[in-house]
Structure formats: C-alpha cells, structure tokens
A and B are shown apart, each in its own frame.
Chain A
Amino acid sequence: MGNTQKLKRIIATDCGSTTTKSILIEYVDGEYRQTVRGEAPTTVEKPLNDVTRGVVNAVTELEELARLKYNDDSIKFIKDQAIWLSDKEGEGVDAYVSTSSAGGGLQMMVTGVVAKMTGESAERAALGAGAIVMDLIASNDKRANYEKIERIRQLRPDMILMAGGVDGGTTKHVAELAELVGAADPKPRLGSSYKLPVIYAGNTKAQDIIKETLGNKTDLIITENIRPVLERENLGPARDKIHDLFMEHVMAQAPGYNKLMSWTKGPINGKMTNIPIMPTPAAVGNIMQTIAKINDIEVLGVDIGGATTDVFSVFTEDKVFNRTVSANLGMSYSISNVLATAGLANILRWVPFDIDESELLNMIKNKMIRPTTIPQKLEELVLEQAIAKEALRYAFIQHKEFAVGLKGGQKKREIADAFAQTASGASIVDMMTLDLLVGSGGVMSHAPRRNQSVMMLIDAFLPEGITKLAVDSIFMMPQLGVLAEISEKAATEVFEKDCLIYLGSCVAPVGAMKPGKIALIAKLELPNGEVFEESIPFGEVRLIPCGVGETAKATLKPGKGLNIGAGKNQEISCDLHGGVVGIVLDTRGRQPFVLPVDASQRVPLLKKWMKEFDVYPEEIL
C-alpha cells in the first residue's frame, strides 16, 4: 500500500453479539502500535435497535482514554454522533474499519448431493466465509423429502449455498435438491422485502436446470463448482460470493448497519474508499492463516465468545485450513447450553471446592439472561473458567470430527501410507505435530491471570509433545483481520507487537502409567544460568518461569512407554520457548487424560495442580 504513511490514526471495531470492542492504532516512532482500547455493550437490541450507538459508545471510551493517556483534551474521534474521518493532520481519524458478528452473525444452510462429499465441501466453504451452518441438507441424509422441506421452511437462513455433483456428473440429484428448496420457498430471516439469496456452486452441467427451478423464486447467483472433481476442492469463488451477499443483503437488513457501512472508510490508493464490514470469524481466519504461512507452522486457534465458539486450524504440510463453529457453546447467551451439553458433573470436576448445586444452576441461568455481567466474586470466576474448559473441550471434539481429509477421492497411496493405515476422511488434527495453540475470546483474553488461560488451554485441548501457547491479548484478531484490507503493514506490525501474547510452552508426554512412576526426566538450562533438573512422576505439573523471547535448552526423556514426539521412550533435545507464564511440564497423561471421579481424590489433585500453576489466590485452594 503506497499511502500507509498517511495513516496515522486508525480505529477498528468488532461488533460482537454482546460487546462492541474498539481499538486505536497509531503510527508512533516509525511503527504501528495498538495504543488504546475501549468497549461498550452492543446495541442491536431494543430500545436502541441501532448498532452504531454501541460503536459510538465504544469509540467514546477510546477517545476519553486517549485524552487521559496523552493528557490532551483536544483529541476527538466522534463528531455529530459519528466517527470523525478527516484528512487533516491531528483531526479525527484517518480510517475506520469494522467486523461484525452481532445479530447472530451470518446464518446459512448448505446443500450437497452426498453429505460426506459435496455436502462437506459446501459446509467448509460456508464456515470458511464466517457463517454459522444451520443445517446441511443432502440427497443421502436419510431424512424423508417432506422433512427436508419442512426443515428448510422453518430455518429461515440468511442465505443458502447449494453444491452437488462433480462437473459433468449427475444432474438429477442436484435438480431434486433445487426442487425441494423451491417447494419450501424459504423466506430470509431478516425482513421479507427481498428474495432469499441462493448461491449455486455445483455441477456446471446443471446450471440451466437450477435457473429454471429457482430463478424466479430466489435471488440466484451462480458460481464455479466447489468440488469440480472429487480429488479437489475449489472453495474460493463460493466464499467470495458469500462475502458479497453478506454485505449486500444480510448486513443491510440489520438495525443500523446501513449507517455503519457508510462509516467504514479508509484510503486506498490515496482515495477514501468504503471498506466492507467483514464477518468476525472470516477476519480471524485470515489472521490465523497468515501466522501459519509466515512461520511455516501448524496452528490451532480458538475464539470462545458469548454465543458461539469458533475453532480454526491449519494442519498438514499443505496448510489445510479448517474452521468450525459450535453455534451453541459460549460463555453468556449459550452458557446454559454448555451445561446441557456437558452435564453438571463434567463442569464440577474442574472445581476445587464444594458448591450448592442449585446455586450454581441459578448462577448459570442468570448469566444467560444478563449476558454482559462479569464475575466479581472469585468463586464465580473459578466456576466460569470451569464452564469454559467444557465449552472448549466440546468445541474441539466437533472440530476434530470436521477437520478431515477429502472423502471419496482416489488417493495415490504409497507404501508408507499403507503401513500407517491412514484412511481417507481421517481427522487431520494431530496434537503431537501442532506447533502453536492460540486462545482468544473474553474468558481467555480477559482472564485476570495469564496462568488461568494456560490452564484452560491445556485442560481443554490436551496438547501433546511440545506445544507453544499464546493468547490474543485483548481479542483484537478480528480487527486486525479487516485492517489488513487497507494496510497489511499496520496489521502485521500490530499483530506481532501487541496482539499475540506468548504464554510459554507445554511439554506433555503421551501415554499412561501408574501414579508415582517417573513420567519425564527433564533438564532445562534457563537463560539466567539456572538449571532445572527433575525426574517428574506421573500425575504432576511443573511450572518453570522463562520469559517472553527467552528460550531454555532442554533435554527431555519420557518415561517407559511414553512419547513426547520422537517416538516411545525417545529422548528429545530442543529449545523450549518461554512466555509471560513460562514452561509447563505436564505429566498428567494423554490418551487418556484421566481425572478421578471421586471428589475426595480429585479435589486434592486439582488443588495441587492449581497451586503449581499459580492460577488462583491461595485462599480459595
């Protein structure tokens, strides 16, 4: 971007379903830094019914904090109840960008001929574009046709993505699906003044039939086949169409968004240009893929929000990107559903004290109906983090099931593959090869102690071997994802310096043994000259301080039958990266990781681990 030198002050917001978060990015001493942040409740609900009110509130907070920071009362970002974009030096801001997941985000329905093949590709395209997939309707999904029609009618999605058939393949099934959609005559969720957008990205041979069946009833858009041959996916064109429609149709219907869309502007090639509002998850996905590519690593990221939990991953040498949304796992609107999904016992197994069951149930429901409140009491914080672990765990299970290799294609198998017994359709998520695990979302980024984020990540995801851990400092990945649209330089600089906070590394041998037996013989030469050396028994954790940007030279030998990445019983010598928390040696076992069911055995263990992790003040443990 040739004109980034003109960008001195940028405001970026993310309108979430609960909170609108704003950040200020400034060009200081030759580099872009994120300097101030603010937030306010999102205002898409009555009585305000206008998303821009929350944006103005969040930016007003920025303005006030910037005035305090620079002790300069003339700083002004808001003028006439709108964000003040000005090209005059020192006045207003130079650019404003935003992402959004308010109003329930982008809700889609997808169709495919075979659920596990074209159906899955359609689902991947929609999820990658930042949508929540309400349902996948496939010719072979075992529901009777009338049930499918009823379902389509009930759902009222924002748009439908139809896939099906490889190019030149069957047209009959695709035609039948189009007939079902036509018969259901679905109405868009927001308003009845426009036709429902339907994107067709299936067999090119069936395009005419689709036009005939759906051309009049829906706002039909035809694009390239997302699965032209079984062996290859072509998700890009469909994703782009979804983004265009998200702006034109869905966002334009949500309260206040027309106004907001007229505010998001930045200079492109020296001209102030409208910058489209991006769905939040799409922006986060952009950033995740960038990290994986720049550093050539495998990355797993999670964003736990109020309503939903998104998991993103980039695995394998080909850097295959996957995103899943667990639509009903979250920390506020959906908190009660975490309880319904995981069950009370699974939540309580992470709690190191007794609590009255009805009190806990009422607390969870109260959080659901007043989603913007935050835990003031320590006990409530511990409970919320226990719930978060379960929400993350379930979201990850769903992700592993979805992030699989392409099914149905002919795969060239080599002798090594035959020995490895890898089937097409197996999960590509491998915790042993994973390099970096990133957590974000309120409960993760705003945890009072970073040690809490470490423990939540480890307990929920159970990383194996050696894994670096990080959190998004104040949850600004979405804003940076959209900021890259006007200035990649600003986005990457801020990302590296202010966004990711490295927590440290986790070393976890895979396998199980009897408690007390030696699970890991570790020798760590720390940068300050100290040496940590211990034969750690099974069932323990150790936390060794090692700061950000520092590394420890480590020799790690797993106990008998255990593996830390080089194979069973194999020793590893490597550099372990530090972080704000440090290096965790976790010998509590993997595959399986087992917590005692009996509270009298479990609670002392939890307390011991929590003390070692230094997660909570002593008085509660």
Chain B
Amino acid sequence: MAQAYSPGLTVTKSIVLKKDRILPLKGKVLVKKGDKVKAEDVVAETLLPGKVVPFNLANKLGVPAEMLGQYLKVKAGDELKKGQVMAETNGFFGFFKTSIKSPLDGEIENISKLTGQMLLREPKIPIQVKAFIDGLVVEVVKEEGVIIENKSAYIQGIFGLSGERSGEIKMLASTPDEIIDPSKIDDSCKDKVIVCGALVSYAAIKKAQKVGVSGIISGGIDDKDLKKLLGYNIGVAITGHEEIGLTIVITEGFGVIKMAKSCFELLKSFEGHKASIHGITQIRAGVMRPEIIIPIEFKKEELKVEEAKMATLEIGTTIRVIRQPNFGLIGKVTGLPEKLTKVESETMVRILEAKLENGEKVTIPRANVEVIED
C-alpha cells in the first residue's frame, strides 16, 4: 500500500484556528463581528433554568387532582416567593383552611390537573462564556455565541485534566527528557503555564497547586500519581471537569516519556508568551484532545482556515512510535512492505520498516506509529 492514514497529533508553529464559543442555551451575545477580544473577555452570557422541584400539591392539600383547579391561587408561569400561598381550601365557614405555601423562590413550570403534581423551578443560574483565545470575532451566532479566529502556535495534547486556563509559558525543564524536581516550582511560577520534561510527579503537581501555577505541560504522567491526585481511577477517558486548581496537558502518554522534540522546541521558542490551554479529553464519540494555543500576530486577511490534510505514510515520512517497544522514539520510514508480517506477539499485521533516531533499524506495526509533520 503506497499510502496509509495514521492519525497524529498536531504540533505546529502557525495555524489559523477557529473556536466556537457557544452557550449551552440561548442567551445574549456581548460582542460583535469584527471585535478584537482577549482570552479573559466574556463574549456571551445566559441564565440557565434552575433546578426543577416536583411538588405534589393535590396530595398536600388533601383534594383529588381533578378538583385542584378551584383551590389554586397561582398559575403556570407565575413567579413565586418562598412562603407565598399557592393553594388554599375554603374550610368550614372560613375556618380550618388548609393553605399550601411555596417552599422556594422561583417560578411555576407546570400544574398538572391529571396527577395533581406541580413543577416548581428554582431561580435561574447565570452562565458566562469567555473568549478563551485572543482573537477576532468573525461570526456571531445569534443569541448563542460567537466564532473567534486567530493565528496561533498550536499543540494538541494526548490527555489532560481540568478546564480552560491561560498563563505565560515558563520552561522548567531544560531538555525534553528531564524530570523536574518539585523544588524548581517556586513563587515565580504563580499564574504561569510551566513546561516539564518527561514526567510530572505527584509531588510536583502538589507543589504547583500550592504556589498557584495555572497549567502544567508534561510529556508523561504516572497512572498511580493520577489516581492519587484525583482520588479515583479514571475508567473511561472523559476528562476536563476535574477541580484541581490547575490544568494539566500531557503530550505523550503514561509513564516516563520524553516530550517530543518538536513540541518542546516550540514551547521553548514561545517562552514568556501567553498561552490558552485546556485538558478536556474525550476519546470516545466526538473525540476531543487537550490543546495548547499560543496566539501570534496576524493580519485579518491571513485568517484562512486550511482544509484538514490527511497524514500519509510514505518512504521518508517522520514517525513516532506510540507503543512498546521503543515507545516515544522518532524515526524515518524506510520501507512499507505490502504483505502481512508476523511480529513478536505472533500477530499478523501490516508493518513498516523504519530507522529510529538512535540508529536502530526496526519493523513496527503500522497501527503503532503516528505521522509527524516536518
């Protein structure tokens, strides 16, 4: 086969990015097309409907559901104050009335004459959407949000934790295979996005939390440390909601893995620049990977999103091994035999031949490499 598709993660000096910043429900958009926005700016806001509280009114009142109508003092859609009378029986000659008061501030969603059930809604909860990246508002989606574009240096991580944050990039590791000592994380790292090398340990994360680091970028993380940090084992890779006070982006995987050189060098060249990062990972349906976005200067006419290209495997393509043995090593493809080949595990697979950066010549299942764009 002359070509094969091997999905790889994007690492690039310059890319035109498009970010949808959309409210979960319709609301108000606060910026207009053409506006320049900063990552921290609120671009849209709305009020989320409050929690629904069912309330069995007929029961509480002691009347059959179909008779409820004659005792009601309120109707669907009404606003409510806590303690407000919602229904009242007539009693005998005005005595022994039963009145039912609202248990909350909010509004009435529905009153069912069939079941006698009332649905009350608690007050609305305000929600804001920030720009997340410095850029230009190129489109306003009416009442829903905006689309922001910019030009950025861009790195896709493989796995991450916690949501959107931003901060200045600070290199703590001097080489991509360094494992940084927690003592290196000091007050100068406050609000920064720090770059570690091949591993970020539990102790390092704890220290980072303590000094108020905004984000950590690392080649690897140990699964045991992850469990210790979160207090539970991640079953299915859906992350981003962790409340750990900082964002973590892992670029290579689990264990001690040297950060890819291209990724490390790129971060190094942007030391001191502001980066927007998030750890949101979803490896099932609608895949999402963590991102590191470093906005760069651009002119409006440069904002043309290129069509996604397919990474292809050809002789000479640079690849990275993404499974044992040789996990993490970079190499160049030297051969693409078409026939199925038996590997050590006796599995018959399509393989490629490659020369690794350490000079070793190897055969690897094609499924175990990713293409790196030079």
Q: Is the CB of A175 within 8 A of B112?
A: yes
Using Cβ atoms and an 8 Å threshold, which residues of chain B touch A60?
A: 1
Using Cβ atoms and an 8 Å threshold, which residues of chain A touch B158?
A: 369-370
Q: Is the CB of A184 within 8 A of B324?
A: no
Query: Number of B residues whose C-beta is below 8 Å from A?
Result: 59
Q: Is the CB of A376 within 8 A of B368?
A: yes
Task: Give bound CA distance, A376 to B325, whole Å.
Answer: 7
Using Cβ atoms and an 8 Å threshold, which residues of chain A touch B324?
A: 363, 376-377, 380
Q: Mark B280-324, 1 if CB is under 8 A from A, else 0.
A: 010111111000000000000000000011100000000000111
Q: Mark B100-122, 1 if CB is under 8 A from A, else 0.
A: 00000000011010110101000
Q: Is the CB of B236 within 8 A of A336?
A: yes
Task: Give bound CA distance, A381 to B158, whole Å.
Answer: 23
Q: B223 within 8 Å of A by Cβ?
A: yes
Q: A290 within 8 Å of B by Cβ?
A: no
Q: B222 within 8 Å of A by Cβ?
A: yes
Q: Is the CB of A146 within 8 A of B325?
A: no
Task: Give bound CA distance, A273 to B353, whole Å.
Answer: 44
Task: Give bound CA distance, A373 to B368, whole Å.
Answer: 5
Q: B159 within 8 Å of A by Cβ?
A: yes
CB distance from A256 to the nearest CB of B (A): 12
Using Cβ atoms and an 8 Å threshold, which residues of chain A touch B6?
A: 41
Using Cβ atoms and an 8 Å threshold, which residues of chain A touch B222?
A: 358, 362
Using Cβ atoms and an 8 Å threshold, which residues of chain A touch B245?
A: none
Interface residues of A in 357-372 (CB under 8 A from B): 358-359, 361-366, 368-372
Using Cβ atoms and an 8 Å threshold, which residues of chain A touch B364?
A: 376
Interface residues of B in 196-251 (CB under 8 A from A): 222-224, 226, 233-237
Q: B365 within 8 Å of A by Cβ?
A: yes
CB distance from B335 to the nearest CB of A (A): 16
Task: Give bound CA distance, A149 to B51, whole Å.
Answer: 9
Contact of B234 among A68, A104, A336, A374 (CB under 8 A): A336
Interface residues of A in 518-575 (CB under 8 A from B): none
Q: B254 within 8 Å of A by Cβ?
A: yes
Q: A425 within 8 Å of B by Cβ?
A: no
Q: Is the CB of A374 within 8 A of B117?
A: no
Q: B10 within 8 Å of A by Cβ?
A: yes
Using Cβ atoms and an 8 Å threshold, which residues of chain A touch B374?
A: none
Q: Is the CB of A104 within 8 A of B254?
A: no
Interface residue stretch chosen among B32-40, B161-169, B180-188, B341-349? B341-349
Q: A57 within 8 Å of B by Cβ?
A: yes
Q: Is the CB of A48 within 8 A of B367?
A: no
Q: Is the CB of A334 within 8 A of B5?
A: no
Q: Is the CB of B346 within 8 A of A449?
A: yes
Which residue, A45, A47, A144, A370, has most C-beta atoms of chain B within 10 A? A370
Using Cβ atoms and an 8 Å threshold, which residues of chain B touch A334?
A: 235-236
Q: Is the CB of B347 within 8 A of A179?
A: no
Q: Is the CB of B283 within 8 A of A369?
A: yes
Q: B279 within 8 Å of A by Cβ?
A: no
Interface residues of A in 142-201 (CB under 8 A from B): 144-146, 149-150, 171-172, 175-176, 179-180, 182-184
Which residue, A61, A146, A180, has most C-beta atoms of chain B within 10 A? A146
Using Cβ atoms and an 8 Å threshold, which residues of chain A touch B254?
A: 361-363, 365-366, 369
Using Cβ atoms and an 8 Å threshold, which residues of chain A touch B310?
A: 48, 53
Contact of A48 among B51, B286, B308 (CB under 8 A): B308
A376-B368, A378-B344 are known contacts. Are A183 and B253 too (CB-CB below 8 A)?
A: no
Contact of B287 among A45, A150, A375, A449 (CB under 8 A): A45
A340-B235, A361-B223, A449-B346 are known contacts. Are A179 and B368 too (CB-CB below 8 A)?
A: no
Chain B, Cβ-Cβ closest to A54: B5
CB distance from A180 to the nearest CB of B (A): 8
Task: Give bound CA distance, A261 to B117, whole Å.
Answer: 45
Task: Give bound CA distance, A189 to B151, whole Å.
Answer: 31
Using Cβ atoms and an 8 Å threshold, which residues of chain A touch B235?
A: 328, 334, 336-337, 339-341
Q: Is the CB of A45 within 8 A of B286?
A: yes
CB distance from A471 to the nearest CB of B (A): 15
Q: Mark B345-367, 1 if CB is under 8 A from A, else 0.
A: 11111000000000000001101
Q: Is the CB of B52 within 8 A of A184?
A: yes
A333-B284, A369-B237 are known contacts. Are A68 and B338 too (CB-CB below 8 A)?
A: yes
Task: Give bound CA distance, A361 to B224, whole Å.
Answer: 8
CB distance from B302 to the nearest CB of A (A): 19
A47-B308, A370-B323 are known contacts. Are A172 and B284 too (CB-CB below 8 A)?
A: no
Contact of B233 among A146, A340, A371 (CB under 8 A): A340
Q: Is the CB of A61 within 8 A of B322?
A: no
Q: Is the CB of B287 within 8 A of A46?
A: yes
- Going nearest first, the 10 A-B pairs with the smallest beta carbon separation are A104-B285, A337-B235, A45-B287, A47-B308, A448-B346, A145-B54, A381-B345, A362-B254, A361-B223, A362-B255
Q: A175-B114, A376-B325, A448-B342 are in contact. List 5 more A-B contacts (CB 8 A).
A: A184-B52, A333-B283, A362-B253, A370-B253, A376-B347
Give 13 pairs: A residue, B residue, CB < 8 Å, sorted on A.
A44-B286, A103-B286, A149-B52, A336-B233, A336-B237, A358-B224, A365-B234, A365-B254, A369-B283, A374-B323, A374-B368, A375-B347, A381-B346
